Amino acid sequence: MTHTTRWLTLALGLTLAGMTHAQTSAPAGAHAPDDAYLWLEDIDGTRAMDWVKQQDAATVADYAQSSEFKRLDARLLEVLDSNERIPFVQKLGDHYYNFWRDKAHPKGLWRRTTLAEYRKAEPAWETVLDLDALAAAEHENWVWHGAQCLKPDYRRCLLSLSRGGADAEVVREFDLHDKAFVEGGFKLPEAKTQVAWADQDHIFVGTDFGPGSMTESSYPRIAKLWARGTPLAEAKTIYEGKPEDLAVSAYRDLTPGYERSFVQRALAFYDSESYLLGKDGKLVRIDVPTDAETSVEREWLLIEPRSDWTVGGHTYKAGSLLATNFDDFMAGKRDITVLFEPTDTTALDGYSWTRHHLILNVMDDVVNRLEVLTPQPGAWKRQPLRGAPALSSIDAAGIDEDASDDYFLTVTGFLQPTTLYYGTLGQGDAEAIKHSPEFFDGSRYQVSQHFVHSKDGTRVPYFEIAPKDIRLDGSNPTLQYGYGGFEISLQPSYSGSIGRAWLEHGGVYVIANIRGGGEYGPRWHKAALKANRLRAYEDFAAVSDDLIKRKVTSPAHLAAMGGSNGGLLMGNMLTLYPQLYGAIVSQVALLDMKRYTHLSAGASWMAEYGDPDKPAEWAWIKTFSPYQNAQPGKHYPPVLFTTSTRDDRVGPAHARKMAAKMQAMGYDADFYENIEGGHGGAADNKQSAFMHALEYTWLWQHVK
């Protein structure tokens, strides 16, 4: 994927980031005159916050006071804080770095060790930055957002820190040798910012430079080159996008011998233009379709077209992975090698470089397999990399693509705690070096994969985790989870929290791989875009119907849960298919699709949903806008809406307004808003455990 796509994906979580916390109120003139709950869009307003506090108090009193809740809260926090978890690492120079939270360090430690130590059962760690100590000293609730460190010595880093978990962040320069912030170094105030090293004394930066410097989607519109020791106002403009663009960014590939600078202009969520930035400041576009994703590694340009692409007398299928020599391509040659081509059941899940090889991760009916490709003239040499157990997820990633063929391999499954392997391509099998603990007794359960035909005949897969001795009599409490958007796939993974909160109590857990996701590549995603959005909801309902038909459960015992875009899914299951469910939990959700482009980051997602300000597009958007479609006199199941005040991505206004409207109509609608936490809903493990315990306690009281 492109550098811009990587940045947006990191900001996305499950949806894209948007404007700063202070900008989450609607712009003047954007109000809907018939909306009685607009006042709840005033994120930090006294009236709105008083309502939130009253709602929170009522929900806590009803669901978070029992001994059962407190026991579950403690057991979930035990999972999140466990010192036996795998400390996943990133290699920077000679050290392996890890960011770690536990009971003693709720905000976290940035720490490092050597490979020899890391391979031990209990490595010796050196603390680089204690975020709890920093937060206490500065009287801020800092949340770690990551670090970018400068090749090749990896001494200087750009650290991103968020107040309370919001997407807006501050950026500060940090010295890994001194383990301290650099006095007089690069420093940026809180904003939606994109930064990247150009060299020791320059960084590329896109941020809020003042009025007009951000796009209508509230991403940086201008990319600049900022020299050390000079005011930000004197940074040199590299490129300016248009206000209607999604974002503009710039970065430099610092691979030794292949140093190149790039500018990327994101036109919309799935469309972008990439440019090579010459030393003379001129830009040369990488001539691929705007909906294709590209990446450059050493001499290679990799291209992922999202639509069929005809070039050089050949047509390449959407969802393929193509390779060509970068310099030759920029010179006009179109000698392209197909590295992967999708089938009806396969899709590219990702890829990773080592020094001499490319590891491909392919999904076949949502189950992974790995291949190792070696560049050579014509068709690249390919070999399988050992696979995973049935119905598991497997991933491999190069550790240092500049210097070695070492790689980490992770294997996980619904009932299989994650195992981390370390290996070197071409030198035998990888060795297991880390194991996650078992937080529940997986031997009591079984995993199965099922397929059901949706309303239009499309074959839709889903995973089911159930007790081995399950009785198919319709009485099993069942929780069905889904997402269905932004080409994001839901794959098997181990969750101690789900095991302890749901499976151990006798519940059945189901993952629905509905359209809108990426389980079968771009075609699966495009099938539920815009006017076709209802296909995703039909798929989810089809899975629910199948669970009921198979007598796994029944509507009184079937619950549904989803977050973000999945929270929108939940809103539509509530309003379009209420007869199927006994309870619904909608987390950090989009719900008011009439106003979504005027709330938080909503303008970023028009490529996914459409523009409700255009009458022709509102005609289809209104069919999946829960806030508008909730009506009195219906038989809606009980619903819980959870959100966060500091969510500057989707924003809490959606959940607030939906809960208030449903309560006014007399429905059983509960609400809880964490004052911190951002789009993830929680700023630390303690908050996360509380939120999950609240949601699962609420569910058990409605569907057991």
Q: How far is CA 353 from each of CA 259, 375, 406, rounded to the nearest angstrom?
A: 17, 11, 10
Verify cis geometry, omega within 30 degrees of 0, for the bond prior to 152: yes
* Active-site residue, 145 included: no
Tokens of 571: 């809103």
CA-wise closest residue to 560 among 531, 589, 526:
589
Look up 679 and say whether it is catalytic: yes
Instruction: Report helix, strand and coil shares of the chain as percent, to nearest 5.
Output: 25, 30, 40
Q: How many other C-beta atoms are found inside a 10 Å radius of the C-beta of residue 248?
A: 26
List the catalytic residue out of 162, 495, 544, 564. Answer: 564
CA atoms within 13 A on the CB side of 445: 26
Phi, psi of 46 (to 5 degrees): -60, -45
The answer to whether 371 touches 359, Cβ cutoff 8 Å, is yes
The enclosing H or E element of 467 equals strand 459-467
Interstrand relation of 283-285 and 271-277 (parallel, antiparallel or unpaired): antiparallel
Q: How far is CA 151 from CA 91, 93, 467, in A?
A: 12, 8, 50
Can you tell me the distance from the alpha carbon of 426 to that of 333, in angstroms, rounded to the nearest whole number?
Answer: 32
- Determine the Cα–Cα distance for residues 567 and 560; give it in Å rounded to an integer: 10
Residues 6+ apart with CB under 8 A from 453: 459, 460, 542
Choose the catalytic residue: 3, 21, 679, 692: 679
**Separation CA 389–CA 414 (nearest Å):** 11
Query: Pseudo-torsion of CA 496, 502, 504, 506, nearest 10°?
Result: -160
Which are the catalytic amino acids? 564, 679
